[in-house]
Amino acid sequence: MDSINSLFLLVSLLLFVSVLTSTLSARMGMPLLLLFLIVGMLAGEDGPGGIGFNDFNRASLISNLALAIILLDGGLRTRMASLRVALWPATVLATWGVVVTSAVLGLFVTWLFDDWHMGMLLAAIVGSTDAAAVFTLLRDGGVRLNERVKSTLEIESGANDPMAILLVTVTVGMLTAPGQTGVASVVRMLASQMIIGGVLGFGGGVVLARLLLRLHLVEGLYALLIVSGGLMIFAATNLVGGSGFLAVYVAGLIAGNRRCHATEHVLQVMDGLAWLAQACMFLVLGLLVKPSHLLESAPEALAMATFLMLVARPFAIVVGLWPFRFPWREVTYISWVGLRGAVPIVLAIMPMVAGVPNSGMIFNVTFVVVLLSLVVQGATVPMAARWLKVEVPPQAEPIDRREVWVDDQAALDLVEFRVEVGSSSEARHPDDVAAECGGLAVRCVSLVRGGLIQTLRVDTRLVAGDLVWFVASEEPATRLAKLFAAGVGSELSAHAGFFGEFVVDPACPAGELASAYGFKLEAEEDVLTLASLLRGRIGRRVVVGDRVSIGAFVLTVREVDDEGVVTGVGLKCPERFVLN
């Protein structure tokens, strides 16, 4: 009994220390996942903790379980609008991109170690990006990327595990049983991983979505239903030869995009479960490592990580995204944010279990590559976004959102705003603000001033600091947010340095705007609306932040609806024009 209590104390202490030090991670710009790894290493055999842990099978079990939960949570939070923006480029990167990255890196590592077995296996292990690292750093890293870049990176990381597992499995098989691994078996394995994983994930997601819709449970049980169902899909898919990782991600995607009375409860609990899974996984993987052994292969690992970040990954991204006409800035950023994390370390356990020669060295080199990726790439995610101009300014948005379900399939959307100094809502009646944004579809339901709920009267006027709750769907809520944000109601646009000094109507004829401002268009473009002009010149699905230059003038997309229709355009004029 004492030993069990000691284990509980140890595990809880490690988690407690990791969470407490998360504030230090934020201040230093250090990825939180890296902190979990470091805490695990310090608690390990070579660190002050002195914990001897070398059970690779148990570590692999814990890591696979954690990755399944992380991917399920990632799928639940991925919107279908993201798929419409980035499905095909992300699919190319998750398949062909992994192969190209591994092949190019494999040639370099073969030359580095003078051993093609070592080279190809190491390259296959670190060839894919990591979902845990990408989801965490993009969603909690304090940077707002344009939708095309963000969606491409997230979908790629959530879908590239099957290809990485296939490459490692095939390479290990070639080393341990050369005669049993042929081209036909590789093709069959890839097809079964992708097809079975996708089909079972879709079917399982539909079942989970219907269960959430029809069952009425205690609030906390909805998330337990999703987690247990997701893990069932994960395990069953693996048992029949499919990719459990792909299946659980797809299942989360399907279930998360079918809103019902349980959705909010599930997401609230899943957020904590995903963080717990990440913390446990990285702590356990950190315990496996002996820092003294890492130093033995540090020079080779440094060279390998540098080549991966600066040559192999960029080459694969340029080739993979070339047909999709991504701007060079976006291609460069996607190349840089090829974050390695837990997945390569888990894959590096496979050679050790299979008894591949030099598997200990392979594990140590992989671990150093992951550390360098998290330190160098992970810590520079926000800075690189600003430097490459793929970051978009934050939108005015509610400070809180709630769903009140009045039926199994009908909900009221409650949104909360704070009246900011200088906003368009100041000194106005809440009902007047509601009428401007949605008419009868928007209603003020509460006004809080000084911590007290106020009775709405005819002479009620909003003052700075008031908290106001409205019933409003997503589109009217977006319009409301602009009225409550400071200084957005003026003629000059918010974030003029990014979007331009003026806001123009996307339905405006391009020829009329050209005549008014004195720039020239192609002959056939005069009759187009600005929205059509932008779509035609950009040549792909438009996202916020896309730009078109016409001489010295720049048109920038300010707003896009879920269908990809441009609903807001900014105009940036030459400096001499603005001054005049």
**For residue 27, what pLDDT is reported?**
53
pLDDT of residue 236: 95
Is residue 407 predicted with pLDDT exceeding 80? no
**pLDDT given at position 109:** 93
pLDDT tens per residue across span 351-375: 888 888 888 888 889 989 988 998 8
Question: What torsion do the CA atoms of 116, 121, 127, 132 make, to the nearest 10 degrees?
Answer: -160
Of 386, 423, 348, which is closest to residue 127 (Cα–Cα)? Answer: 348
Lowest mean pLDDT among 76-80, 130-134, 230-234: 130-134
Give the rounded percent of residues in the chain with a pLDDT score beyond 70.
Answer: 90
- Rounded Cα distance, 557 and 559, in Å: 6
Provide the whole-model pTM. Answer: 0.82
The per-residue pLDDT for 10 is 67
- Residue 579: its pLDDT value, please? 46
Alpha-helix runs per DSSP H in 215-358? 219-239, 244-256, 263-288, 291-294, 298-307, 313-321, 328-336, 342-354
Residue 438 has pLDDT above 90, yes or no: no
**Residue 482: per-residue pLDDT:** 83
| pLDDT tens track for 106-147 | 999 999 988 888 888 999 999 888 877 787 778 766 678 888
pLDDT, position 298: 85
Q: Between 437 and 495, name the one with better pLDDT.
A: 437
The predicted model gives 242-259 an average pLDDT of: 89
pLDDT band at 490 (very low <50, low <70, confident <90, very high): very low
341 against 305, higher pLDDT: 305
Q: Is the pLDDT of residue 245 over 70?
A: yes
- Tokens (6 digits) for 359: 């598997």
Helix (H, G, I), strand (E, B) or coil at 394: coil
Name 20's Cβ contacts closer than 8 Å, sequence gap at least 6. none
pLDDT at site 289? 81
Q: In Å, how far are 192, 203, 294, 472 from 408, measured between CA atoms?
A: 37, 22, 55, 19
Q: In this model, does residue 308 exceed pLDDT 80?
A: yes
* pLDDT higher than 50, residue 563: yes
pLDDT value, residue 86: 87
Average pLDDT over residues 4-32: 64
Q: What is the pLDDT of residue 461?
A: 92
Nearest in space to 227 (alpha carbons), one of 278, 267, 257, 198? 267
Mean pLDDT across the stretch 219-226?
A: 85
Among 88-92, 152-156, 261-265, 530-534, where is mean pLDDT lowest? Answer: 261-265
Domains with residue ranges and CATH for the chain: 2-47+58-387 (1.20.1530.20), 400-484 (3.30.70.1450), 496-579 (3.30.465.10)
**139-153 pLDDT, tens digit each:** 766 678 888 999 999
Could you give the percent of the chain with pLDDT greater than 90? 20
pLDDT-derived band at 247, boundaries 50, 70, 90: very high
pLDDT for the residue 491: 43
The arithmetic mean of pLDDT across residues 217-245, rounded, is 89
